[in-house]
Structure 1
Amino acid sequence: MFRRFFGGGVPAELDGVLASEEHVVATAGLRPSGFLYASSLGLWVPAQEGQRRVGWHLISKVTWGNGVLEVVEARESGTAGDAVLLADERPVRYQLERPNKLPDVVHNRVNGSIRSRHRRDLPGGGVWFVQRKVPGRDGIVLQVRPDPGSDEEAVRRVAAEVAAKIREALQ
Structure 2
Amino acid sequence: MFGFLKRRRLPADKRPKLGPDERVVAWAVATGDNVVVATNHGLWLPGVEQRLGWHEIHKATWSGRQLAVVAARELPVGDEEYAVVADLPPLLLTLLDPDRVPEQVRVRVNKSIAHTSHHPLDEITGVRGGVRVVGRRVPGVNGLCWTVRYDEDVDPQATGVAEQTHELVAWARSGVGTAS
Q: TM-score range by the shorter chain?
A: 0.7 to 0.9
In 1, the alpha carbon distance for the partners of 2:38 and 2:18 equals: 11
In 1, the alpha carbon distance for the partners of 2:12 and 2:135 equals: 32
Q: 1:71 aligns with which of 66, 69, 72?
A: 69
Moved over 3 A (4+): 167-171
In 2, the alpha carbon distance for the partners of 1:159 and 1:80 equals: 11
In 1, the alpha carbon distance for the partners of 2:12 and 2:104 equals: 17
The answer to whether the 8 Å contact 1:81/1:160 transfers is no
For structure 1, list consecutive stretches of 5 or more residues without a partner in the other structure. none
| 3-state DSSP of counterpart to 1:149 | coil
Q: Which residue of 2 aligns with 1:30?
A: 30
In 2, the alpha carbon distance for the partners of 1:167 and 1:10 equals: 46
Higher relative contact order (CA 8 A, sep 6+): 1
In 1, the alpha carbon distance for the partners of 2:39 and 2:11 equals: 11
TM-score for the superposition, normalised by structure 1: 0.85
1:127, CA displacement in angstroms? Answer: 1.4
Tell me whether 1:113 sits opposite 2:117 in the alignment.
Answer: no
1:148, CA displacement in angstroms? Answer: 1.7
Q: Which has the larger radius of gyration?
A: 2
More strand by share: 1
Aligned residues: 163
In 2, the alpha carbon distance for the partners of 1:43 and 1:34 equals: 14
Q: 1:59 aligns with which of 57, 64, 74?
A: 57
**Over the residues paired in the alignment, what is the CA RMSD in angstroms?**
2.2
1:119–1:29 CA distance, 2 compared to 1 (3 A):
same
Q: Which residue of 2 aligns with 1:92?
A: 91
Give me the identity figure in percent.
Answer: 33
| 3-state DSSP of counterpart to 1:124 | coil
Q: Which residue of 2 aligns with 1:46?
A: 46
1:162–1:81 CA distance, 2 compared to 1 (3 A):
farther
Which of 97-106 and 51-60 deviates more? 51-60
Q: Which residue of 2 aligns with 1:6?
A: 8
